[in-house]
């Protein structure tokens, strides 16, 4: 007999069934602590739509974390797509445009997207999830984005620092001020405030990053920061905001690479949106463009009548930090 399904948002206690369904679908083990960090500790919250079979079993799941973004100088809510799946026992009822998988997506869209809700969704699926998302969710791939690599010099480079490198244990109000100064350079971006940065990089339970900030001598004003995910002998530049003055940016990066070399890093890779205002600055520091990997397909969908697809494609800013890949 074909089961019937009930669609409703997450309720406290559902996480046990969600975790069980996740482990059936994805090969990566995820602790309940990590689930809570993703969905209940995110400062802007999350949206989780669930499909339950009439026997009480979880059949499908569509979710996003919510983030405050700055669009044309105003705050809006956007969603980063996470954990889209149907459980194996109900795959036979997930096929087609009226399957439980698609109905879960439709319930999510109806409940939480629109001009006064989530104005856009974005994500970074691999090929197969992208094909399904394009077919059933109308995902649009970003037409242009960049993948860069930096090869550390094999020998220590002589340079005279013109600023101070600080190892961060937590982001504070100085980073709110930094975002306020720099936000005008980003037509549409997740707001890099202290509350977002602490959640993303400090409070995360299953990863540790190397994080440095930069200030000039005799000043407490933060001019930039970098977040590095080590994977020796490589590393990922997960997020970055370099000083606007080229000489300060170079001094900052030289000090960072001195530490990276000492810690056994040989190359640093990063990727980012076409809307990145620091692309030329990265090239000036020695980053070189590389072929884009085929395992990542940045996608989006607009739900605001004034947010045209072509404009969003060209102006939405993201880095590795806006994904869950590192």
Is residue 88 classed as helix, strand or coil in its secondary structure?
helix
Instruction: Single out the residue of 181, 316, 175, 313 nearest to residue 245, CA to CA.
Output: 181
Confirm whether pTM is higher than 0.85.
yes
Per-residue model confidence (pLDDT) at position 136: 85
pLDDT digits (tens, 9 = 90+) for 236-247: 999 999 999 999
> Pairing relation of β-strands 74-86 and 58-71?
antiparallel
Q: Which residues contact 218 (CB under 8 A, 6 or more apart)?
A: none
> Pairing relation of β-strands 267-273 and 288-290?
unpaired
Exposed (0-12), middle (13-18) or buried (19+): which is 72, by Cβ within 10 Å?
Answer: exposed
Topology of domain 5-145+295-322 in CATH is Aminopeptidase (3.40.630)
Q: Report how far residue 179's alpha carbon sits from residue 202's, in angstroms, rounded to the nearest whole number.
A: 18
> Pairing relation of β-strands 316-317 and 188-190?
parallel
Residue 23 has pLDDT above 90, yes or no: yes
pLDDT digits (tens, 9 = 90+) for 50-104: 999 999 999 999 999 999 999 989 999 999 999 999 998 887 765 556 789 899 9
Q: What does CATH list as the number for 146-290?
A: 3.40.630.30
Q: Which residues contact 67 (CB under 8 A, 6 or more apart)?
A: 42, 44, 77, 78, 79, 80, 190, 191, 196
Per-residue model confidence (pLDDT) at position 96: 55
Q: Report how far residue 162's alpha carbon sits from residue 272's, in angstroms, rounded to the nearest whole number.
A: 28
Per-residue model confidence (pLDDT) at position 90: 85
End-to-end CA distance of the chain: 43
* Tokens 């980073």 -> residue: 175
Is residue 172 classed as helix, strand or coil in its secondary structure?
coil
Using only C-alpha atoms, the chain has a radius of gyration, in whole angstroms, of 21
Asked whether the beta carbons of 290 and 119 are under 8 A apart, the reply is: no
Residue 1 has pLDDT above 70, yes or no: no
Q: What is the mean pLDDT of residues 309-316?
A: 98
pLDDT digits (tens, 9 = 90+) for 109-142: 999 999 999 999 999 999 988 988 898 889 999 9
Q: Report how far residue 314's alpha carbon sits from residue 16's, in angstroms, rounded to the nearest whole number.
A: 40
Q: Report how far residue 276's alpha carbon sits from residue 107's, in angstroms, rounded to the nearest whole number.
A: 34
pLDDT digits (tens, 9 = 90+) for 153-207: 988 778 899 999 999 999 999 999 999 999 999 999 999 999 999 999 999 999 9
Per-residue model confidence (pLDDT) at position 308: 97
Per-residue model confidence (pLDDT) at position 317: 98
The kind and range of the H/E element at 68 are strand 58-71
Asked whether the beta carbons of 294 and 167 are under 8 A apart, the reply is: no
Q: Report how far residue 237's alpha carbon sits from residue 268's, in angstroms, rounded to the nearest whole number.
A: 6
Q: Report how far residue 66's alpha carbon sits from residue 87's, in angstroms, rounded to the nearest whole number.
A: 24
Query: What sign results for the dihedral spanned by CA atoms 204, 152, 261, 243?
Result: negative
Q: What is the mean pLDDT of residues 221-227?
A: 98
Q: Report how far residue 305's alpha carbon sits from residue 182's, in angstroms, rounded to the nearest whole number.
A: 27
pLDDT digits (tens, 9 = 90+) for 11-20: 999 999 999 9
Q: Report how far residue 23's alpha carbon sits from residue 101's, in angstroms, rounded to the nearest whole number.
A: 17
Q: Record the tokens describing residue 311, joined without a space.
A: 């404009």
Q: Do domains 5-145+295-322 and 146-290 have the same CATH topology?
A: yes
Q: Where are the domains of the chain?
A: 5-145+295-322, 146-290
């Amino acid at each position: 007999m074909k089961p019937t399904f009930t669609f409703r948002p997450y309720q406290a206690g559902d996480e046990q069934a969600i975790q069980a369904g996740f482990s059936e679908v994805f090969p990566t083990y995820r602790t309940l602590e990590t689930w809570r960090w993703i969905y209940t500790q995110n400062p802007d919250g999350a949206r989780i739509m669930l499909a339950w079979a009439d026997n009480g079993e979880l059949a499908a799941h569509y979710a996003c974390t919510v983030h405050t973004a700055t669009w044309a100088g105003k705050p809006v809510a956007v969603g980063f797509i996470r954990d889209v799946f149907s459980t194996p026992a109900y795959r036979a009822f997930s096929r087609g445009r009226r399957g439980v998988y698609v109905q879960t997506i439709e319930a999510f869209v109806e409940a939480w997207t629109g001009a006064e809700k989530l104005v856009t969704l974005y994500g970074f699926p691999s090929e197969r999830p992208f094909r399904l998302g394009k077919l059933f969710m109308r995902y649009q791939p970003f037409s242009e984005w960049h993948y860069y690599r930096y090869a550390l010099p094999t020998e220590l480079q002589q340079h005279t620092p013109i600023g101070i490198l600080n190892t961060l244990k937590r982001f504070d109000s100085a980073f709110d001020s930094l975002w306020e100064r720099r936000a005008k350079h980003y037509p549409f971006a997740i707001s890099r405030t202290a509350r977002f940065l602490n959640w993303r990089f400090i409070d995360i339970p299953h990863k540790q990053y190397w994080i440095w900030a930069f200030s000039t001598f005799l000043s407490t004003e933060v001019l930039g920061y970098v977040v590095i995910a080590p994977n020796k002998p490589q590393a990922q530049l997960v997020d970055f905001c370099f000083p606007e003055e080229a000489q300060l940016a170079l001094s900052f990066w030289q000090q960072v690479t001195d530490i990276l070399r000492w810690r056994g890093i040989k190359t640093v890779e990063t990727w980012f949106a076409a809307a990145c205002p620091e692309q030329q600055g990265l090239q000036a520091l020695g980053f070189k463009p590389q072929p884009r990997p085929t395992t990542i397909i940045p996608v989006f969908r607009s739900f605001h009548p004034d947010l045209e697809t072509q404009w969003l494609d060209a102006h939405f800013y993201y880095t590795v930090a806006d994904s869950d890949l590192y």
